[in-house]
Amino acid sequence: MVLPDGMSYRVLVLPQIARIRPELLRKIRDLVAGGVTLIGPKPNLSPSLQGGYPRADAEVQALANEIWGDLDGVQRNRHFVGKGLVTWGLPPGLVVAQPDPQLINPLTGALPPETVQASLNLAKDAEFAGPLDASIVWIHRRTSDADIYFVANRRDRAQEIGARFRVAGKEAELWHPDTGDIEPASYTIENGRTTVPLHLEARESVFVVFRLPAAHPSRTLPPITSKTVATVTGSWDVSFPPKWGAPDKVQLGQLESWTTNADEGVKYFSGTATYTKSVQAAPSWFGQGARLWLDLGAVGDIAEVSVNGKTAGILWKPPYRIEVTDSLKPGANQLEIKVTNQWNNRIAGDRGATPDKRVLAQAGGRGGGFGGRGGGLANSGLLGPVTVVATTTASSPN
């Protein structure tokens, strides 16, 4: 199969489902007849009433019989259609070492498509070793001179993943889509595969790119050490824009969500508020080779950071950490952090307020969506803890 983007595939693997729409099954039949290898169970129903019931189910069953023939996934496992091959379950007599009983279909006793794929000696294009519940999704694209894998962590926590790709002879690079930064990666080439260790933050994605010839079969980059050199404590001055329900300025003794504030103007505020604070930086922070980062901890929801009047950047996802090496200096430093939250809180506040106390022209209509007044409020503001972190590589002096 050759897709419009130029990627080609030898095998089509179906999920373990029994329902497929007739339109899709007709396309699968054409692909198999043209030479594609199909791995997967035989469907028997349509998931939709479109096309009429039971006419759609009958068409699915007729197409399935044409594609899968008399396969049952247990004793009969292979069926040729046109130039293609359909496989369901393992051929009789083929032994798979200790298959996980939980992976066997309880209705048919058939093994999942991934196991069948292994039995056909079809190497996976990408594999990821990590926690048992690691939720990694990926896609591969090839250009004239590069293999590009997009890898994403779907968990709300950081993960250490050992990624192995069906690529050899090229060194690995990491391309970060949120910043545009490109950096070399550690890798090991062995048996036609390249293994790349990946550290992925919560919900982080990265492009793993192979485009440059590898001078050596492996590369191990020096580890980066991270040390928290200071925790920013004490009060913060917070200013709010006029005519948005909140006071012009408040002082927070500690960082907390606006929704916990006793002032209802702050509690239900939606918009952009500005945090300011003076921070003393010790000379010891600025060691040779050290890079300094401002870590905001948790934020609800977007933060724009400035240090000594110089914009450092905008943070819109975890980790809320930004480099401040060039803008921070020994001695006093002025921090300014503009935080913007969702508009849900203002809508919820206006719904229970009298017309003269409302900020928005309308209180968001009737019914649900944001709960009653004070219900379903989203944590907002700079939540912290705010820390200064120094990073160095093993080859750099501390």
pLDDT at 115: 58
Which residues on adjacent β-strands are paired with residue 300?
381
Specify the DSSP element, H or E, that contains 65: helix 55-68
Dihedral, CA of residue 44, residue 47, residue 52 and residue 58, to nearest 10: 0
Closest CA to 179 of 157, 205, 159, 211: 205
Q: What are phi and psi of 24, to 5 degrees?
A: -70, -40
Domain positions in the chain are 11-119, 126-221, 228-342+378-393
pTM comes to 0.74
Q: Say how far apart CA 221 and CA 245 lie, in whole Å.
A: 52
* Helices then strands, each counted (H, E), the chain: 5, 26
pLDDT at 17: 85
Q: 126-221 — its CATH code?
A: 2.60.40.1180
| The CATH fold of domain 228-342+378-393 | Jelly Rolls (2.60.120)
Q: Check residue 268 and give left, alpha or beta (phi > 0: left; psi -120 to 50: alpha).
A: alpha
pLDDT at 3: 81
pLDDT at 4: 81
Give the chain's residues under pLDDT 50: 92-110, 365-369, 371, 374, 396-398
Buried b (16+ CB within 10 A) or exposed e, 370-391: beeeeeebbbbbbbbebbbbbb
Report the percentage of the chain scoring pLDDT > 90: 66
Specify whether the CB–CB gap between 147 and 210 falls below 8 A. Answer: yes
pLDDT at 394: 75
Q: What are phi and psi of 257, to 5 degrees?
A: -65, 140
